[in-house]
Amino acid sequence: MLTMASKISESAKEVLEIEASSILKLKDNIGSDFEKAIEFLYNCKGRVIVTGMGKSGIIGKKIAATMSSTGTPAYFLHPAESTHGDSGVITRNDVIIAISNSGETQELMNLLPLIKRFGCPMIGMTGNVNSTLGKTSDVTLDISVEREADTLGKAPTASTTATLAMGDALAVCLMKEKGFTKEDFLMYHPSGKLGKGLTYKVKDLMITGDRMPIVSDSEIFTDVIKTISEYKLGMAMIVSSNGELSGVLTDGDIRRTIIKFQNTSDLKIKDAMTVNPKRITEDAYAASALNLMEKYSITALAVVNERNIPVGVIHVHDLLRAGVA
**Alpha-carbon distances of 8 from 15, 18, 151, 224, 285, rounded to whole Å:** 11, 15, 13, 67, 50
Q: pTM of the entire structure?
A: 0.63
| Predicted confidence band of residue 190 (pLDDT cuts 50, 70, 90) | low
The average pLDDT across 281-308 equals 93
| Predicted confidence band of residue 88 (pLDDT cuts 50, 70, 90) | confident
pLDDT of residue 85: 62
Looking at residue 115, its amino acid is I
Dist. CA 19–CA 9, nearest whole Å: 16
Range in 17-31, 67-81, 234-248, 270-284 with the lowest mean pLDDT:
67-81
Helix ranges restricted to H, the chain: 5-25, 32-42, 54-69, 79-82, 106-118, 132-136, 158-178, 182-188, 192-196, 202-205, 221-231, 251-260, 286-296, 316-321
pLDDT of residue 151: 86
pLDDT of residue 51: 95
| Predicted confidence band of residue 322 (pLDDT cuts 50, 70, 90) | confident
Neighbours of 234 (CB within 10 A): 20
Give 177: exposed, middle or buried? Use CB within 10 Å, 0-12, 13-18, 19+: middle
Report the sign of the C-alpha dihedral through residues 228, 234, 235, 236, in that order. Answer: negative
Dist. CA 133–CA 90, nearest whole Å: 18
Long-range contacts from 127-133, C-beta under 8 angstroms, 24+ separation: 127/101, 127/102, 127/103, 127/159, 128/101, 128/102, 128/103, 128/104, 129/103, 130/103, 131/100, 131/102, 131/103, 131/104, 132/103, 132/104, 133/98, 133/100, 133/103, 133/104, 133/105, 133/108, 133/109
The average pLDDT across 23-46 equals 95
| Predicted confidence band of residue 114 (pLDDT cuts 50, 70, 90) | confident
Which domains, ranges and CATH numbers included, belong to the chain?
13-180 (3.40.50.10490), 199-321 (3.10.580.10)
